[in-house]
Amino acid sequence: MSIERTLNLKALASALGKDASWLSKKALPHVLVGSVKLYNSDECRAWIASNVRELAKKPKPVSSLLESIPESGSSQAPAIPQKSALALDADNPIITDLKSGDPLRVTRAAAALAGLRVAHAAQQGHAGANDLDDLKKALGELRQAEDSYIELGIRKGEIIERSTACEIIGSCCSRLVECLNVLENSIAVEFDMWLSDESMRGSSETRQRKIRDYVAGLGYQIRRQEADGVDALIDARKAESDMEKSHDA
């Protein structure tokens, strides 16, 4: 009596309740139809029973089973290892930032919280790929939030670029040197006039008062002039920056 073999490997695995990859490694009786192997479930079941020795699971020792049983009268179930929750105090800076409503502070707090979760899970031995992915995502969102914050500050004129700040500071230092030169030359010229002024030969108090008044008035004029010049410098640089951005757009 010939045996009818009509099942492919997937159908055979379903019929036997076995894994297809496990069956593919066994020399099961089959017939080739083209390049496809066909099997008979009864024949393969008998072959496995005769040729494959499945290892039985080693039973747990009785002592370990007894230890897992709660004592009489106790409602406590056997302890199951779980991840412990990460708790933060109400006055923790992370909690404060999360409640602030400021987009940048909230994003920074979220990134810090994600980092704490990864560290906490790692200490307990439960850190996984999902924890690291959450941290990477939070850090990416933080970078985007910081870039957006800086860009918004530049558009509002509240933040200037480093190169612009260096240019303004350099110009201010140059103007300060010019101010000192003006003050020095003005006092030198005025001193010659004081020598020929009869009133300067009077009391020391009168002479000191006139010198202080002259230096104070001259200093105010220079400060006012330079303040207007710095404002004009900043406005001019801002206009140049706006024009560059309009051309780029």
In tens digits, what is the pLDDT along the chain, a chain of 249 residues?
Answer: 566 777 888 888 888 888 888 888 888 888 888 788 888 888 888 888 888 875 445 555 545 544 544 555 545 544 444 555 667 787 888 888 888 888 888 899 888 988 888 888 888 777 778 878 888 888 998 888 888 888 888 777 777 777 777 777 777 777 777 877 777 777 777 777 777 777 766 677 777 787 788 788 877 777 777 777 666 766 776 777 677 667 665
- Parallel/antiparallel/unpaired status of strands 36-38 and 31-33: antiparallel
Asked if 41 contacts 13 with a C-beta cutoff of 8 angstroms, the reply is no
Q: Which residues contact residue 124 at a Cβ distance below 8 angstroms, ignoring those fewer than 6 apart?
A: 83, 84
Give the number of residues written for the chain.
249
Does the global pTM surpass 0.95? Answer: no
Query: How far from each other are the two terminal CA atoms of the chain, in whole angstroms?
Result: 85
